[in-house]
Structure 1
Amino acid sequence: MSHKTTPKRFVAGARCPECKEMDSIVCYYEDEVFVRECVECDFRELIGDVEPEEKESDQKEPESDASKKVTPAQIIKIKEL
């Protein structure tokens, strides 16, 4: 039985829900299960419903032009001080 593990990646700006340490959370996939853990304490969370990005991108349908929201341009005035 082989275990597939992706490289661990730090999540910039993430705070651990247990120890509250900033920039200590790493995320990776282990046997197709998304893992989020803290490198400073023993916090570890397994998220089984999330699929790797490669698989998810294959399933997405391209957005049609009709579904894109277009915001009209607005004129702004810049005041000098």
Structure 2
Amino acid sequence: MAKKRFIAGAVCPQCQQKDTLRWWQENEIERVECVACEYTDSRAPQAVEESEQLSQQTKDQVIGIFKPQ
């Protein structure tokens, strides 16, 4: 089981309580939950998101693909 850590100074976007959010990583996914109102959120780690953005930028730079016939 992953170790859950509280995020100091963070405010829950749902109930606006401070210092109630905890974070952990599970199966390559970052998870956040509020212990006061049971708000939850999950996302891919930032490094994965950055690499996806880079590959999208690379795709945007491609003008066309040459296909000889």
**TM > 0.5 between the two?**
yes
**Higher helix proportion, which one?**
2
Unaligned runs of 5+ in 2: 48-69
Q: What TM-score do you get using the length of structure 2 for normalisation?
A: 0.61
Query: Once superposed, what is the RMSD of the aligned Cα atoms?
Result: 1.7
Q: Which runs of 4+ in 1 moved over 4 A?
A: none
Which of structures 1 and 2 has the bigger CA Rg?
1
Alignment deviations for residues 15-37 of structure 1 (CA, whole Å, 9 cap, x no partner):
00000001000000111100011
**Aligned mate of 2:3, from 7, 16, 26:** 7
Matched positions, count? 47
Unaligned runs of 5+ in 1: 53-81
Q: What TM-score do you get using the length of structure 1 for normalisation?
A: 0.53
Query: What are the residue-to-residue correspondences of 1:38-57 with 2, within 5 Å?
Result: 38-48=34-44, 50=45
